[in-house]
Amino acid sequence: MIEIKGISKSFENKDVLTNIDLNLERGKVNMIIGKSGAGKSVLLKCLVGLFDIDSGHILYDGRPFSDMGYQKKKEIRKEIGMLFQGSALFDSKTVLENVMFPLTIFSEKSQEEIKERALFCLRRVKIEEQANNLFPAEISGGMKKRVAIARAIALQPRYLFCDEPNSGLDPQTSIVIDNLIKEITLEFDITTVVISHDMNSVMEISDFISFIHQGQKWWEGSRDDILTSENKEVVDFVYASNFMKAVRESFKKK
Amino acid sequence: MSIFSHLGKYYILMAQAFAKPDKFKVVWKRVIDEMEAIGVGSIPIVAILSIFMGAVTLLQMAYNFSSPLVPDYTEGLATRDTMILEFAPTIISLILAGKVGSSIAGNLGTMKVTEQIDALEIMGVNPQSYLIMPKMVAALCVFPFIVIVSIFLGTMGGYLASLLTGVVSIDKYVYGIRYDFEPFYITYALVKAEFFAMIITSVSAYQGFITSGGPKEVGDSITRAVVYSCIIILLFDLILTQLLLTA
Protein backbone atom coordinates (compact mmCIF):
# COMPACT_ATOMS: atom_id res chain seq x y z
CA MET A 1 0.00 0.00 0.00
CA ILE A 2 1.18 3.51 -0.79
CA GLU A 3 0.00 6.33 1.45
CA ILE A 4 0.25 9.91 0.24
CA LYS A 5 -0.17 12.41 3.04
CA GLY A 6 -0.66 16.07 2.22
CA ILE A 7 2.01 16.38 -0.45
CA SER A 8 2.65 19.64 -2.28
CA LYS A 9 5.02 20.52 -5.08
CA SER A 10 5.77 23.79 -6.79
CA PHE A 11 8.13 24.89 -9.55
CA GLU A 12 9.49 28.45 -9.44
CA ASN A 13 6.68 29.61 -7.14
CA LYS A 14 4.00 27.98 -9.31
CA ASP A 15 1.98 25.43 -7.31
CA VAL A 16 1.62 22.23 -9.31
CA LEU A 17 0.36 19.92 -6.55
CA THR A 18 -1.46 21.15 -3.46
CA ASN A 19 -2.03 19.10 -0.31
CA ILE A 20 -2.81 15.75 -1.93
CA ASP A 21 -3.95 12.82 0.23
CA LEU A 22 -4.35 9.39 -1.33
CA ASN A 23 -4.29 5.75 -0.29
CA LEU A 24 -3.26 3.41 -3.10
CA GLU A 25 -4.07 -0.16 -2.16
CA ARG A 26 -2.23 -3.39 -2.82
CA GLY A 27 -3.60 -5.85 -5.36
CA LYS A 28 -5.62 -3.12 -7.04
CA VAL A 29 -5.24 -0.97 -10.13
CA ASN A 30 -5.27 2.60 -8.83
CA MET A 31 -5.99 5.05 -11.65
CA ILE A 32 -5.03 8.70 -11.51
CA ILE A 33 -6.91 10.68 -14.14
CA GLY A 34 -7.20 14.33 -15.08
CA LYS A 35 -6.78 16.84 -17.87
CA SER A 36 -3.42 17.58 -19.47
CA GLY A 37 -1.45 19.87 -17.17
CA ALA A 38 -3.45 18.88 -14.10
CA GLY A 39 -0.32 17.58 -12.35
CA LYS A 40 -0.70 13.79 -12.81
CA SER A 41 2.78 13.16 -14.21
CA VAL A 42 4.35 15.41 -11.57
CA LEU A 43 2.47 13.41 -8.92
CA LEU A 44 3.83 10.17 -10.39
CA LYS A 45 7.38 11.53 -10.48
CA CYS A 46 7.02 12.64 -6.85
CA LEU A 47 5.79 9.15 -5.93
CA VAL A 48 8.85 7.44 -7.42
CA GLY A 49 11.26 10.06 -6.11
CA LEU A 50 12.27 11.69 -9.39
CA PHE A 51 11.01 14.98 -7.92
CA ASP A 52 11.48 15.96 -4.27
CA ILE A 53 8.25 17.07 -2.64
CA ASP A 54 7.98 20.43 -0.86
CA SER A 55 5.84 19.14 2.01
CA GLY A 56 3.93 16.06 3.11
CA HIS A 57 4.91 12.39 3.27
CA ILE A 58 4.89 9.36 0.98
CA LEU A 59 4.87 5.97 2.69
CA TYR A 60 5.51 2.63 0.99
CA ASP A 61 3.91 -0.01 3.23
CA GLY A 62 4.57 2.23 6.20
CA ARG A 63 8.14 3.11 5.15
CA PRO A 64 8.63 6.90 4.88
CA PHE A 65 10.04 7.02 1.33
CA SER A 66 9.96 10.80 0.95
CA ASP A 67 11.97 11.32 4.15
CA MET A 68 14.70 8.82 3.25
CA GLY A 69 18.24 9.52 2.04
CA TYR A 70 19.52 8.42 -1.38
CA GLN A 71 20.83 4.99 -0.31
CA LYS A 72 17.64 3.97 1.55
CA LYS A 73 15.49 5.21 -1.33
CA LYS A 74 17.57 3.02 -3.64
CA GLU A 75 16.53 -0.06 -1.66
CA ILE A 76 12.83 0.77 -2.13
CA ARG A 77 13.38 1.58 -5.78
CA LYS A 78 14.49 -2.01 -6.34
CA GLU A 79 10.89 -2.94 -5.44
CA ILE A 80 9.47 -0.52 -8.02
CA GLY A 81 8.71 -1.31 -11.63
CA MET A 82 7.81 1.49 -13.99
CA LEU A 83 6.27 1.64 -17.42
CA PHE A 84 7.10 4.96 -19.07
CA GLN A 85 4.93 6.76 -21.60
CA GLY A 86 7.59 6.28 -24.30
CA SER A 87 8.60 2.85 -22.94
CA ALA A 88 12.16 4.13 -22.15
CA LEU A 89 13.80 0.93 -23.35
CA PHE A 90 17.59 1.15 -23.64
CA ASP A 91 18.10 1.60 -27.36
CA SER A 92 21.63 0.16 -27.36
CA LYS A 93 20.39 -3.14 -25.89
CA THR A 94 18.29 -5.88 -27.47
CA VAL A 95 14.85 -6.83 -26.16
CA LEU A 96 16.32 -9.69 -24.11
CA GLU A 97 19.19 -7.55 -22.77
CA ASN A 98 16.71 -4.86 -21.71
CA VAL A 99 14.80 -7.35 -19.57
CA MET A 100 18.01 -8.94 -18.25
CA PHE A 101 19.47 -5.54 -17.30
CA PRO A 102 17.93 -5.00 -13.82
CA LEU A 103 18.65 -8.64 -12.96
CA THR A 104 22.29 -8.30 -14.07
CA ILE A 105 22.74 -5.27 -11.83
CA PHE A 106 20.90 -6.42 -8.72
CA SER A 107 20.61 -10.18 -8.80
CA GLU A 108 23.32 -12.53 -7.54
CA LYS A 109 22.02 -15.28 -9.84
CA SER A 110 24.16 -16.85 -12.58
CA GLN A 111 23.93 -15.51 -16.12
CA GLU A 112 22.00 -18.63 -17.13
CA GLU A 113 19.40 -18.14 -14.38
CA ILE A 114 19.11 -14.44 -15.23
CA LYS A 115 18.45 -15.30 -18.87
CA GLU A 116 15.86 -17.89 -17.83
CA ARG A 117 14.00 -15.34 -15.68
CA ALA A 118 14.12 -12.73 -18.47
CA LEU A 119 12.74 -15.26 -20.96
CA PHE A 120 9.96 -16.13 -18.51
CA CYS A 121 9.01 -12.43 -18.21
CA LEU A 122 9.03 -12.02 -21.99
CA ARG A 123 6.85 -15.10 -22.44
CA ARG A 124 4.52 -13.74 -19.73
CA VAL A 125 3.91 -10.59 -21.79
CA LYS A 126 3.55 -12.72 -24.93
CA ILE A 127 6.68 -11.58 -26.75
CA GLU A 128 7.62 -14.14 -29.37
CA GLU A 129 11.10 -15.62 -29.12
CA GLN A 130 12.16 -14.27 -32.53
CA ALA A 131 11.89 -10.72 -31.16
CA ASN A 132 14.35 -11.29 -28.32
CA ASN A 133 17.38 -10.30 -30.35
CA LEU A 134 15.81 -7.24 -31.96
CA PHE A 135 16.59 -3.69 -30.84
CA PRO A 136 13.81 -1.36 -29.60
CA ALA A 137 13.94 0.62 -32.86
CA GLU A 138 13.03 -2.56 -34.74
CA ILE A 139 9.80 -3.38 -32.86
CA SER A 140 6.31 -1.83 -32.80
CA GLY A 141 4.98 0.55 -30.15
CA GLY A 142 2.78 -2.13 -28.60
CA MET A 143 5.69 -4.56 -28.38
CA LYS A 144 7.84 -1.87 -26.78
CA LYS A 145 5.21 -1.42 -24.07
CA ARG A 146 5.08 -5.17 -23.48
CA VAL A 147 8.88 -5.41 -23.27
CA ALA A 148 8.84 -2.47 -20.83
CA ILE A 149 6.30 -4.35 -18.70
CA ALA A 150 8.52 -7.45 -18.84
CA ARG A 151 11.48 -5.35 -17.68
CA ALA A 152 9.37 -3.76 -14.94
CA ILE A 153 8.35 -7.14 -13.49
CA ALA A 154 11.76 -8.81 -13.89
CA LEU A 155 12.77 -8.10 -10.29
CA GLN A 156 9.32 -9.11 -8.96
CA PRO A 157 8.33 -5.60 -7.86
CA ARG A 158 5.88 -4.78 -5.09
CA TYR A 159 4.84 -1.57 -6.80
CA LEU A 160 4.12 -0.92 -10.47
CA PHE A 161 3.76 2.58 -11.92
CA CYS A 162 2.44 3.15 -15.44
CA ASP A 163 2.57 6.57 -17.07
CA GLU A 164 -0.09 6.70 -19.79
CA PRO A 165 0.45 3.09 -20.90
CA ASN A 166 -1.88 3.43 -23.90
CA SER A 167 -0.57 6.63 -25.43
CA GLY A 168 0.13 6.19 -29.13
CA LEU A 169 -1.43 2.72 -29.32
CA ASP A 170 -4.37 1.50 -31.38
CA PRO A 171 -7.55 0.50 -29.45
CA GLN A 172 -6.91 -3.23 -29.82
CA THR A 173 -3.31 -3.04 -28.55
CA SER A 174 -4.48 -0.71 -25.76
CA ILE A 175 -6.82 -3.42 -24.51
CA VAL A 176 -3.97 -5.97 -24.59
CA ILE A 177 -1.77 -3.66 -22.49
CA ASP A 178 -4.64 -2.84 -20.09
CA ASN A 179 -5.42 -6.52 -19.56
CA LEU A 180 -1.75 -7.28 -19.02
CA ILE A 181 -1.50 -4.60 -16.32
CA LYS A 182 -4.62 -5.94 -14.60
CA GLU A 183 -3.46 -9.58 -14.78
CA ILE A 184 0.01 -8.76 -13.44
CA THR A 185 -1.47 -6.74 -10.58
CA LEU A 186 -3.59 -9.68 -9.48
CA GLU A 187 -1.03 -12.39 -10.24
CA PHE A 188 1.84 -10.79 -8.29
CA ASP A 189 -0.40 -8.98 -5.76
CA ILE A 190 1.27 -5.61 -6.33
CA THR A 191 0.23 -2.02 -5.83
CA THR A 192 -0.36 -0.63 -9.30
CA VAL A 193 -0.69 3.07 -10.08
CA VAL A 194 -1.75 4.07 -13.58
CA ILE A 195 -1.83 7.58 -14.97
CA SER A 196 -4.27 7.81 -17.87
CA HIS A 197 -6.48 10.00 -20.02
CA ASP A 198 -8.04 7.00 -21.67
CA MET A 199 -11.60 6.49 -20.38
CA ASN A 200 -11.72 3.02 -21.93
CA SER A 201 -8.83 1.98 -19.67
CA VAL A 202 -10.47 3.62 -16.71
CA MET A 203 -13.70 1.69 -17.25
CA GLU A 204 -11.93 -1.58 -18.13
CA ILE A 205 -9.34 -2.09 -15.42
CA SER A 206 -9.55 0.48 -12.61
CA ASP A 207 -10.40 -0.57 -9.09
CA PHE A 208 -9.96 2.88 -7.61
CA ILE A 209 -9.96 6.24 -9.38
CA SER A 210 -8.57 9.62 -8.29
CA PHE A 211 -9.36 12.70 -10.32
CA ILE A 212 -6.72 15.41 -10.19
CA HIS A 213 -7.79 18.93 -11.11
CA GLN A 214 -5.66 22.09 -10.88
CA GLY A 215 -3.07 20.24 -8.81
CA GLN A 216 -5.58 19.04 -6.22
CA LYS A 217 -7.33 15.77 -5.59
CA TRP A 218 -10.80 16.75 -6.76
CA TRP A 219 -12.62 13.47 -6.52
CA GLU A 220 -12.06 9.77 -5.75
CA GLY A 221 -14.13 6.64 -6.00
CA SER A 222 -14.83 3.46 -7.94
CA ARG A 223 -15.82 2.84 -11.57
CA ASP A 224 -19.50 2.78 -10.67
CA ASP A 225 -19.13 5.96 -8.62
CA ILE A 226 -17.67 7.86 -11.56
CA LEU A 227 -20.64 6.98 -13.77
CA THR A 228 -23.06 8.50 -11.27
CA SER A 229 -20.88 11.37 -10.07
CA GLU A 230 -22.44 14.83 -10.16
CA ASN A 231 -19.14 16.64 -9.68
CA LYS A 232 -19.03 19.17 -12.53
CA GLU A 233 -15.31 18.85 -13.34
CA VAL A 234 -15.46 15.06 -13.23
CA VAL A 235 -18.53 14.99 -15.46
CA ASP A 236 -16.93 17.44 -17.94
CA PHE A 237 -13.79 15.30 -18.13
CA VAL A 238 -15.34 11.83 -18.22
CA TYR A 239 -18.24 12.64 -20.51
CA ALA A 240 -16.42 14.84 -22.96
CA SER A 241 -17.26 12.48 -25.84
CA ASN A 242 -20.74 11.69 -27.14
CA PHE A 243 -20.01 8.00 -26.72
CA MET A 244 -19.40 8.41 -22.99
CA LYS A 245 -22.50 10.59 -22.68
CA ALA A 246 -24.51 7.71 -24.17
CA VAL A 247 -22.91 5.28 -21.70
CA ARG A 248 -23.93 7.55 -18.83
CA GLU A 249 -27.51 7.78 -20.07
CA SER A 250 -27.85 4.01 -20.41
CA PHE A 251 -26.31 3.53 -16.97
CA LYS A 252 -28.82 5.99 -15.46
CA LYS A 253 -31.74 4.17 -17.12
CA LYS A 254 -30.63 0.91 -15.54
CA MET B 1 21.55 29.72 -15.22
CA SER B 2 24.66 31.53 -14.08
CA ILE B 3 28.15 30.12 -14.58
CA PHE B 4 28.37 29.40 -10.84
CA SER B 5 25.16 27.40 -10.95
CA HIS B 6 26.59 25.35 -13.85
CA LEU B 7 29.87 24.86 -12.00
CA GLY B 8 28.03 23.66 -8.89
CA LYS B 9 25.92 21.24 -10.89
CA TYR B 10 28.99 20.02 -12.78
CA TYR B 11 30.83 19.20 -9.55
CA ILE B 12 27.77 17.43 -8.10
CA LEU B 13 27.49 15.38 -11.30
CA MET B 14 31.17 14.41 -11.10
CA ALA B 15 30.82 13.42 -7.44
CA GLN B 16 27.83 11.22 -8.34
CA ALA B 17 29.71 9.75 -11.31
CA PHE B 18 32.57 8.61 -9.10
CA ALA B 19 30.36 7.20 -6.35
CA LYS B 20 30.75 3.47 -5.63
CA PRO B 21 29.25 1.58 -8.58
CA ASP B 22 26.42 -0.91 -8.08
CA LYS B 23 28.39 -3.79 -9.61
CA PHE B 24 32.08 -3.53 -10.52
CA LYS B 25 31.84 -6.37 -13.05
CA VAL B 26 29.17 -4.51 -15.05
CA VAL B 27 31.08 -1.22 -14.92
CA TRP B 28 34.34 -2.93 -15.96
CA LYS B 29 32.61 -4.43 -19.00
CA ARG B 30 31.32 -0.97 -19.90
CA VAL B 31 34.82 0.52 -19.53
CA ILE B 32 36.14 -2.04 -22.05
CA ASP B 33 33.28 -1.25 -24.47
CA GLU B 34 33.93 2.48 -24.14
CA MET B 35 37.68 2.00 -24.65
CA GLU B 36 36.85 0.29 -27.91
CA ALA B 37 34.42 3.04 -28.95
CA ILE B 38 36.60 5.99 -27.92
CA GLY B 39 40.04 4.48 -28.61
CA VAL B 40 39.80 2.01 -31.47
CA GLY B 41 36.98 4.01 -33.08
CA SER B 42 39.16 7.14 -33.16
CA ILE B 43 42.31 5.60 -34.62
CA PRO B 44 41.39 6.02 -38.34
CA ILE B 45 40.66 9.76 -38.10
CA VAL B 46 43.69 10.30 -35.82
CA ALA B 47 45.92 8.41 -38.26
CA ILE B 48 44.78 10.39 -41.30
CA LEU B 49 45.08 13.75 -39.53
CA SER B 50 48.45 12.98 -37.97
CA ILE B 51 50.08 11.86 -41.23
CA PHE B 52 48.88 14.97 -43.03
CA MET B 53 49.80 17.30 -40.14
CA GLY B 54 53.34 15.86 -40.01
CA ALA B 55 53.75 16.10 -43.78
CA VAL B 56 52.47 19.68 -44.01
CA THR B 57 54.55 20.76 -41.01
CA LEU B 58 57.72 19.46 -42.67
CA LEU B 59 56.90 21.24 -45.94
CA GLN B 60 56.23 24.52 -44.15
CA MET B 61 59.42 24.19 -42.08
CA ALA B 62 61.42 23.51 -45.22
CA TYR B 63 59.88 26.56 -46.89
CA ASN B 64 60.55 28.85 -43.89
CA PHE B 65 64.02 27.52 -42.93
CA SER B 66 65.55 27.94 -46.37
CA SER B 67 68.34 30.15 -44.96
CA PRO B 68 71.88 28.71 -45.14
CA LEU B 69 72.36 29.87 -41.53
CA VAL B 70 69.82 27.31 -40.27
CA PRO B 71 71.20 23.76 -39.95
CA ASP B 72 69.59 21.37 -42.44
CA TYR B 73 68.36 18.97 -39.76
CA THR B 74 66.15 21.73 -38.24
CA GLU B 75 63.09 20.77 -40.33
CA GLY B 76 63.03 17.24 -38.84
CA LEU B 77 63.65 18.51 -35.31
CA ALA B 78 60.94 21.18 -35.61
CA THR B 79 58.44 18.70 -37.07
CA ARG B 80 59.07 16.26 -34.22
CA ASP B 81 58.79 18.88 -31.47
CA THR B 82 55.68 20.49 -33.01
CA MET B 83 53.99 17.10 -33.15
CA ILE B 84 54.95 16.22 -29.56
CA LEU B 85 54.31 19.59 -27.96
CA GLU B 86 51.17 20.80 -29.70
CA PHE B 87 49.73 18.94 -32.64
CA ALA B 88 49.41 15.44 -31.14
CA PRO B 89 48.03 16.38 -27.71
CA THR B 90 46.10 19.59 -28.48
CA ILE B 91 44.95 19.52 -32.10
CA ILE B 92 44.04 15.83 -31.90
CA SER B 93 42.13 16.54 -28.66
CA LEU B 94 40.23 19.33 -30.41
CA ILE B 95 39.31 16.89 -33.16
CA LEU B 96 38.28 14.30 -30.59
CA ALA B 97 36.18 16.93 -28.80
CA GLY B 98 34.16 16.93 -32.00
CA LYS B 99 34.07 13.19 -32.52
CA VAL B 100 33.93 11.78 -28.96
CA GLY B 101 32.34 14.80 -27.26
CA SER B 102 29.45 15.00 -29.71
CA SER B 103 28.87 11.27 -29.41
CA ILE B 104 28.76 11.41 -25.58
CA ALA B 105 26.50 14.49 -25.44
CA GLY B 106 24.18 13.10 -28.14
CA ASN B 107 23.98 9.69 -26.53
CA LEU B 108 23.30 10.97 -23.00
CA GLY B 109 21.03 13.79 -24.21
CA THR B 110 18.88 11.33 -26.14
CA MET B 111 18.75 9.01 -23.12
CA LYS B 112 17.66 11.96 -21.00
CA VAL B 113 14.83 13.17 -23.23
CA THR B 114 13.55 9.63 -23.85
CA GLU B 115 13.42 8.96 -20.08
CA GLN B 116 16.03 6.18 -20.25
CA ILE B 117 18.04 7.92 -17.51
CA ASP B 118 14.88 8.20 -15.37
CA ALA B 119 14.32 4.49 -15.97
CA LEU B 120 17.81 3.72 -14.62
CA GLU B 121 17.22 5.93 -11.59
CA ILE B 122 13.87 4.30 -10.78
CA MET B 123 15.46 0.85 -11.04
CA GLY B 124 17.82 1.95 -8.26
CA VAL B 125 20.84 2.23 -10.56
CA ASN B 126 23.06 5.30 -10.14
CA PRO B 127 22.83 6.62 -13.73
CA GLN B 128 25.80 8.98 -13.38
CA SER B 129 28.08 6.20 -12.18
CA TYR B 130 26.76 3.68 -14.71
CA LEU B 131 26.86 6.01 -17.72
CA ILE B 132 29.55 8.64 -17.13
CA MET B 133 32.27 6.96 -15.10
CA PRO B 134 33.10 4.22 -17.68
CA LYS B 135 33.40 6.85 -20.42
CA MET B 136 35.78 8.96 -18.33
CA VAL B 137 37.91 6.02 -17.19
CA ALA B 138 38.07 4.70 -20.75
CA ALA B 139 39.09 8.12 -22.14
CA LEU B 140 41.76 8.55 -19.45
CA CYS B 141 43.18 5.13 -20.42
CA VAL B 142 43.13 5.52 -24.20
CA PHE B 143 43.95 9.20 -24.80
CA PRO B 144 47.69 8.80 -23.97
CA PHE B 145 47.90 5.92 -26.46
CA ILE B 146 46.12 7.98 -29.09
CA VAL B 147 48.60 10.82 -28.54
CA ILE B 148 51.58 8.43 -28.82
CA VAL B 149 50.14 7.00 -32.04
CA SER B 150 49.61 10.53 -33.34
CA ILE B 151 53.21 11.56 -32.56
CA PHE B 152 54.54 8.45 -34.29
CA LEU B 153 52.34 8.85 -37.36
CA GLY B 154 53.01 12.61 -37.54
CA THR B 155 56.77 12.07 -37.72
CA MET B 156 56.11 9.32 -40.26
CA GLY B 157 54.06 11.84 -42.25
CA GLY B 158 57.09 14.13 -42.29
CA TYR B 159 59.22 11.20 -43.43
CA LEU B 160 56.78 10.47 -46.27
CA ALA B 161 56.75 14.14 -47.31
CA SER B 162 60.54 14.28 -47.43
CA LEU B 163 60.60 10.99 -49.36
CA LEU B 164 57.96 12.07 -51.90
CA THR B 165 58.96 15.73 -52.39
CA GLY B 166 62.65 15.69 -51.61
CA VAL B 167 62.51 19.09 -49.84
CA VAL B 168 64.69 17.59 -47.11
CA SER B 169 66.90 14.55 -47.56
CA ILE B 170 65.79 11.42 -45.71
CA ASP B 171 69.11 11.23 -43.83
CA LYS B 172 68.80 14.82 -42.59
CA TYR B 173 65.15 14.32 -41.61
CA VAL B 174 65.96 11.17 -39.60
CA TYR B 175 68.96 12.93 -38.03
CA GLY B 176 66.68 15.90 -37.15
CA ILE B 177 63.96 13.85 -35.45
CA ARG B 178 66.63 12.10 -33.33
CA TYR B 179 68.63 15.25 -32.52
CA ASP B 180 68.53 16.76 -29.00
CA PHE B 181 65.48 14.76 -27.91
CA GLU B 182 63.96 15.95 -24.64
CA PRO B 183 62.07 13.06 -22.93
CA PHE B 184 60.13 15.49 -20.72
CA TYR B 185 58.26 16.68 -23.80
CA ILE B 186 56.58 13.27 -23.95
CA THR B 187 55.57 13.57 -20.30
CA TYR B 188 54.20 17.04 -21.03
CA ALA B 189 52.19 15.69 -23.99
CA LEU B 190 50.76 12.82 -21.93
CA VAL B 191 49.82 15.10 -19.02
CA LYS B 192 47.97 17.33 -21.48
CA ALA B 193 46.26 14.28 -23.00
CA GLU B 194 44.95 13.21 -19.58
CA PHE B 195 43.61 16.68 -18.81
CA PHE B 196 41.96 16.97 -22.22
CA ALA B 197 40.42 13.49 -21.91
CA MET B 198 38.88 14.55 -18.62
CA ILE B 199 37.61 17.85 -20.09
CA ILE B 200 36.05 16.31 -23.21
CA THR B 201 34.23 13.48 -21.42
CA SER B 202 33.07 15.43 -18.37
CA VAL B 203 31.93 18.57 -20.21
CA SER B 204 30.10 16.51 -22.85
CA ALA B 205 28.51 14.24 -20.24
CA TYR B 206 27.35 17.28 -18.28
CA GLN B 207 25.80 18.83 -21.38
CA GLY B 208 24.06 15.54 -22.14
CA PHE B 209 22.73 15.19 -18.61
CA ILE B 210 21.24 18.68 -18.42
CA THR B 211 19.36 18.25 -21.71
CA SER B 212 15.62 18.67 -21.47
CA GLY B 213 13.04 18.90 -24.21
CA GLY B 214 13.36 17.06 -27.50
CA PRO B 215 15.58 16.45 -30.54
CA LYS B 216 16.32 20.17 -31.05
CA GLU B 217 17.62 20.48 -27.48
CA VAL B 218 19.76 17.35 -27.98
CA GLY B 219 21.32 19.06 -31.01
CA ASP B 220 21.91 22.22 -28.97
CA SER B 221 23.58 20.16 -26.22
CA ILE B 222 25.90 18.54 -28.76
CA THR B 223 26.91 21.95 -30.11
CA ARG B 224 27.53 23.31 -26.62
CA ALA B 225 29.51 20.21 -25.62
CA VAL B 226 31.88 20.60 -28.58
CA VAL B 227 32.25 24.38 -28.33
CA TYR B 228 32.79 24.44 -24.54
CA SER B 229 35.18 21.46 -24.66
CA CYS B 230 37.30 23.21 -27.31
CA ILE B 231 37.41 26.50 -25.40
CA ILE B 232 38.32 24.79 -22.11
CA ILE B 233 40.97 22.65 -23.86
CA LEU B 234 42.62 25.79 -25.27
CA LEU B 235 42.46 27.49 -21.87
CA PHE B 236 44.06 24.50 -20.15
CA ASP B 237 46.64 24.24 -22.95
CA LEU B 238 47.79 27.72 -22.00
CA ILE B 239 47.76 27.01 -18.25
CA LEU B 240 49.55 23.64 -18.54
CA THR B 241 52.18 25.04 -20.91
CA GLN B 242 52.88 27.86 -18.49
CA LEU B 243 53.07 25.46 -15.54
CA LEU B 244 55.02 22.61 -17.12
CA LEU B 245 57.31 24.23 -19.68
CA THR B 246 58.01 27.75 -18.56
CA ALA B 247 57.68 27.69 -14.76
Task: Tell me the pLDDT band of A243, cut-offs 50, 70 and 90.
Answer: confident
Q: A244 pLDDT exceeds 80?
A: no
| Mean pLDDT value of segment A160-166 | 92
**Residue A194, in any domain of the structure:** yes
Residue B43 contacts A where some CB pair is shorter than 8 Å: no
The interaxial angle of helices B127-165 and B102-113, nearest 10 deg, is 150
pLDDT at A236: 87
Candidates A221, A191, A194; CA nearest to A205 is A194
**Residue A251, in any domain of the structure:** no
Report chain A residues touching chain B, CB-CB < 8 A: 48-50, 74-75, 77-78, 80, 82, 84-86, 88-91, 101-102, 104-106, 155, 161
Task: Tell me the pLDDT band of A238, cut-offs 50, 70 and 90.
Answer: confident
**Residue A246, in any domain of the structure:** no
Task: Tell me the pLDDT band of B21, cut-offs 50, 70 and 90.
Answer: confident
Task: Tell me the pLDDT band of B77, cut-offs 50, 70 and 90.
Answer: very high
Tell me how far CA of residue A239 lies from CA of A165, A228, A233, in angstroms. Answer: 21, 11, 10
**Residue A72, in any domain of the structure:** yes
B116: nearest CB among A74, A75, A90: A90
Query: Chain B 16-35, CB below 8 Å of chain A: which residues?
Result: 22-23, 26
Is A105 in Cβ contact with B26 (below 8 Å)?
A: yes
Task: Tell me the pLDDT band of B247, cut-offs 50, 70 and 90.
Answer: low
Q: A4 pLDDT exceeds 80?
A: yes
**Residue A250, in any domain of the structure:** no
Task: Tell me the pLDDT band of A242, cut-offs 50, 70 and 90.
Answer: confident
Q: Which residue of B has its CA nearest to A79?
A: B123
Tell me which residue range forms the domain holding A152: 2-216
Is B115 in Cβ contact with A105 (below 8 Å)?
A: no
B122: nearest CB among A77, A85, A89: A77
pLDDT at A170: 87
Q: Which residue of A has its CA nearest to B21?
A: A105
Residue B115 contacts A where some CB pair is shorter than 8 Å: yes
Q: What percent of chain A has pLDDT over 90?
A: 62
- Among A218-227, B81-90, B187-196, whose mean pLDDT is lowest? A218-227
pLDDT at B2: 85
pLDDT at B45: 95
| Mean pLDDT value of segment B190-206 | 97
| Mean pLDDT value of segment A130-147 | 93
Cα separation of A48 and A41, whole Å? 11
Domain count of chain A? 1
**Residue A91, in any domain of the structure:** yes
| Mean pLDDT value of segment A136-149 | 93
pLDDT tens, residue by residue, A19-72: 999 999 999 999 999 988 889 989 999 999 999 999 999 999 999 999 998 888
Residue B36 contacts A where some CB pair is shorter than 8 Å: no
pLDDT at B91: 97
CB B131 within 8 A of CB B108: yes
Residue B12 contacts A where some CB pair is shorter than 8 Å: no
How many residues belong to chain B? 247
**Residue A32, in any domain of the structure:** yes
User: What is the reported pTM?
Assistant: 0.89
| Mean pLDDT value of segment A151-175 | 90
Candidates B149, B145, B177; CA nearest to B47 is B149
pLDDT tens, residue by residue, B45-68: 999 999 999 999 999 999 988 888
Question: What's the CATH number where A141 sits?
Answer: 3.40.50.300
Is B123 in Cβ contact with A105 (below 8 Å)?
A: yes
| Mean pLDDT value of segment B219-239 | 97
Q: A117 pLDDT exceeds 70?
A: yes
pLDDT at A171: 86
Q: What percent of chain B has pLDDT over 90?
A: 89
Q: What is chain A's mean pLDDT, rounded?
A: 90
| φ, ψ of residue A206 in degrees (nearest 5) | -75, 140
Q: B143 pLDDT exceeds 90?
A: yes
**Residue A232, in any domain of the structure:** no
